[in-house]
Chains A and B, each alone.
Chain A
Amino acid sequence: EPEVTQTPSHQVTQMGQEVILRCVPISNHLYFYWYRQILGQKVEFLVSFYNNEISEKSEIFDDQFSVERPDGSNFTLKIRSTKLEDSAMYFCASSAQGSTNEKLFFGSGTQLSVL
């Protein structure tokens, strides 16, 4: 079965540094998502992306965050000036369509640790 691939699996960074988390969605999918999960907490929606623009974003997704689809295969999440509270597991997801009858496929995540 096709998979969503995320790299790196673990990322350690110093507070204040910028990080880029990378995702390769399933090849024929058109809708892309980022979620995060702080240790012991819920999986939280961050942002969705379609047709090269943000479709929806949560309150968490402030000016510190940005997303990009730099080429036909990658989907990235950039976190500028990381804070300690950005430490979390970040999940990328994709779906073929945006309808409610279309399932999301999730990657295995990137564990971000901000020191």
Chain B
Amino acid sequence: DAKTTQPPSMDCAEGRAANLPCNHSTISGNEYVYWYRQIHSQGPQYIIHGLKNNETNEMASLIITEDRKSSTLILPHATLRDTAVYYCIVRNFNYGGATNKLIFGTGTLLAVQP
């Protein structure tokens, strides 16, 4: 499985953009980058995913470098409710037909400060 590297923690001021980096230098060409977050032991919540192109939805933007070796999740206007552990996951493509499960790492604890 392609491994991801994330900083263990980050701070962000409320109302400012939060930029969460992720390195995935061993990613393969058909592997998607997913971002989930977990707010205080709740179930992981899907944020966004992408393959090559940058993606944007109502929650966040995902910027993937051209070589696909790293990505950045951007929360444009962080609020206190965005305080959570953010997981960057490279979703392994299994040619054998198995379920292409998500494998969670330790993530980045984002603390949004008032």
A residues within 8 Å of B by Cβ?
4, 31, 33, 35, 37, 42-45, 48, 50, 55-56, 89, 91, 93, 98-101, 103-109
Residues of B at the A interface (CB closer than 8 Å) are 30-32, 34, 38, 41-46, 49, 51, 87, 91-93, 98-106
Cβ 8 A contact of B101, one of A4, A48, A101, A105: A48
Q: How far is the CA of A91 from the CA of B104 in the complex (A)?
A: 13
A56:B49 contact, CB within 8 angstroms: no
B65 vs chain A, min Cβ distance (A): 19
Whether B101 and A56, one on each chain, are in contact in the complex, defined by CB atoms closer than 8 angstroms, is yes
> With A33-B99, A45-B101 in contact, is A100–B43 under 8 Å at CB?
no
Q: How far is the CA of A35 from the CA of B41 in the complex (A)?
A: 13
Whether B98 contacts A109 by the Cβ 8 Å rule is no
Asked whether A100 lies within 8 Å of B41 as measured between CB atoms, the reply is no
Q: When A106-B45, A108-B42, A109-B42 are in contact, do A42 and B106 touch as well, CB less than 8 Å?
A: yes
